[in-house]
Homo-oligomer: A and B are copies of this chain.
Amino acid sequence: MKDLEERVQKDAIVNEGNEVDVDSIFSQYVDVNLLDEMANEWAFRFRNLKLTKIVTIESSGIALATLLAIKLNVPVVIVKKTPEFEVDDAYTARIYSHQYHQSITAYIMKQNLCRDDKVVIIDDFLANGWAAEGMISMIEESGAKVVAMGVAVEKAQKAGGQKIRAKGIQLESLSVITGVDESGKISFAE
């Protein structure tokens, strides 16, 4: 998506090791016009999937998931994070939190998923796919099926995209970063 690529080029921060940080676009600030355009694109690509739930992880995917939810008229289930190891009445997965620099427990309340659910996962960024794998394992534990995943920014050189596609999940990344040159210019897949 052209508008998204331009925004990433303009506002993303390129850290050491050419890590692209999109927090300023999805985590600290919500440009509703851009995000609504993205949600429209996902709603179109997912229109035939008969989705019943959107799952996202706090907090940078919530705005995107909410805008898509309006268009698909389905609820959003939010994966929460806690430093505790056990959460009553929840599906859990251990994942690494960049925000808290420690492993934490991600959880979904059991009452919010059922075995008939057809789920799309929405997230802002897909690199190694560890958070995505945690979400998929929790959703599958409930008996629900992960049918699709929508990602704002996918990093092509990392393994996450391949892992998701290999599971038969329809992955729709609205921008795919293929590299960063010495000047910090980001290149995108066609």
Residues of B near A73 (CB, < 8 A) are 32-33
Bound: A101/B58 CA distance, A: 18
> Which of A78-86, A137-145, A173-181 interfaces with chain B?
A78-86
Q: How many copies does the complex hold?
A: 2
- Does A132 reach chain B (CB closer than 8 Å)? no
Residues of B near A36 (CB, < 8 A) are 70
Min CB gap A52→B, angstroms: 13
Among A83-107, those with CB < 8 Å from B are 83, 99-101
Among A58-74, those with CB < 8 Å from B are 58-59, 62-63, 65-67, 69-70, 73-74
- Does A30 reach chain B (CB closer than 8 Å)? yes
Q: How large is the interface on A (under 10, 10 to 19, 20 to 34, 35 or more residues)?
A: 35 or more
Partner of A69, one of B24, B27, B28, B30: B30
Bound: A73/B31 CA distance, A: 9
Bound: A25/B134 CA distance, A: 23
Residues of B near A65 (CB, < 8 A) are 30, 63
Among A28, A75, A82, find the residue whose CB has the most chain B CB atoms closer than 10 A: A28
Bound: A108/B24 CA distance, A: 11
- B32–A80 contact, CB under 8 A? no
Among A103-117, those with CB < 8 Å from B are 108-109, 111-112
